[in-house]
Amino acid sequence: MRTITDIREMQSIAIQLKREGKTIGFVPTMGYLHEGHLSLLSAARKENDVTVVSIFVNPLQFGPKEDLATYPRDFERDSSLAEKEGNDYIFFPSADEMYPVTPSVTAKVQDRTDVLCGKSRPGHFDGVATVLIKLFNIVQPDKVYFGMKDAQQVAVVDGLVRDFNIPVEIVPVQTVREEDGLAKSSRNVHLLPAERDQATALHQSLKMAESAIDEGEQDPQKILARMKEFIKKNTSGEIDYIEILSYPNLKQISRLEGKIIIAMAVKFSKARLIDNAIISVKKES
């Protein structure tokens, strides 16, 4: 496995691989890899000739009061995990390498951002879209792998690739969870012991909602009310949002039908956790 820190070198390698007729599977990350990231790498390795993982904590997607400075970083650990997974290249640029000067052009995401995380994090997905356009041009992947834990990001990237005719295939991979249901996340390390126990309530509330839908409930407001009550009763966290929307268009709905997302964010003392479920609701006959 090779570590590349220079944009031109990574781009040159990608161009040569393309000339050789090899396919490139790409996993963009901000590092501090966990089993969720490794599941993306595993999928990429199975479906492509060469795999590339990027590790870059992108400052453009952090707000002024967000955790850029405290975001967990451990490159040696990440490198070891990626190599054990059979990864071929790590692209590990510095912020100065990616943004040597203030960008003269950045992306502006117009749709699918005024809900869920985008509502409370203005500009976040603009930063995500901007760095992904750069990474896609540098790595030149055939397939790019994203975890469905951040389903809004997957929806935004789907729109980005479609609108800009970027020749890559987006491959969504199901959320990897702890044995008790908590979604794997780099931010879980910031949970206090009591909060870690309480955090299982997020997944439990999603399962509760799924059961209600299976039993015929079609009013999203009733389901949301039950979920909010459950989270407030079983955690010390502050609910940022719980929403039910169409997917991947992320539009408000008054009745449950078709493909939907039930998504939430809950703030604990030092960590903000997200989780979701994508459900296909059958129409009543």
| Inter-residue contact 136 to 160 (CB < 8 Å) | no
- Report residue 185's pLDDT band, with 50, 70 and 90 as the boundaries: confident
Task: Please tell me the predicted confidence (pLDDT) of residue 235.
Answer: 97
Query: In the numeric block, which tokens belong to residue 210?
Result: 């799924």
> What is the arithmetic mean of pLDDT over 258-270?
95
Note the pTM of the prediction, 2 decimals: 0.88
Above 90 in pLDDT, residue 267? yes
Q: Chain-wide mean pLDDT for the chain? A: 94
More confident residue, 115 or 220: 220
Inform me whether the pLDDT recorded for 100 exceeds 70: yes
Task: Say whether 149 counts as a known binding-site residue.
Answer: yes
Nearest alpha carbon to residue 146 among 158, 164, 159: 158
For residue 115, name the pLDDT band (cuts at 50, 70, 90).
confident
Stretch 138-150: mean pLDDT, rounded? 96
212-255 confidence digits (pLDDT tens): 999 999 999 999 999 999 999 999 999 999 999 999 999 999 99
148 annotated among ligand-binding-site residues: yes
Q: Is 203 annotated as a binding residue?
A: no
187 is in an annotated binding site: yes
- pLDDT tens figures, 41-91: 999 999 999 999 999 999 999 887 677 888 889 999 999 999 999 999 999
Query: What values do phi and psi take at 13, rounded to 5?
Result: -60, -45
Q: Is the pLDDT score of 174 beyond 60?
A: yes
For the chain, list the domains and their CATH numbers.
2-173 (3.40.50.620), 186-277 (3.30.1300.10)
Higher pLDDT, 119 or 97: 97
Active site residue 37: yes
Q: Give Cβ neighbours of residue 168 (< 8 Å, ≥ 6 apart).
A: 26, 136, 141, 142, 143, 144, 161
**285 pLDDT higher than 60:** no
| 185 annotated as belonging to a binding site for a ligand | yes
Residue 137: pLDDT over 90: yes
Average pLDDT over residues 198-202: 97
Structure tokens at 142: 């055939």
Closest CA to 212 of 234, 229, 199: 229
Q: What pLDDT was estimated at residue 284?
A: 63
pLDDT, residue 219, reads: 94
- Position 92: which residue type? F
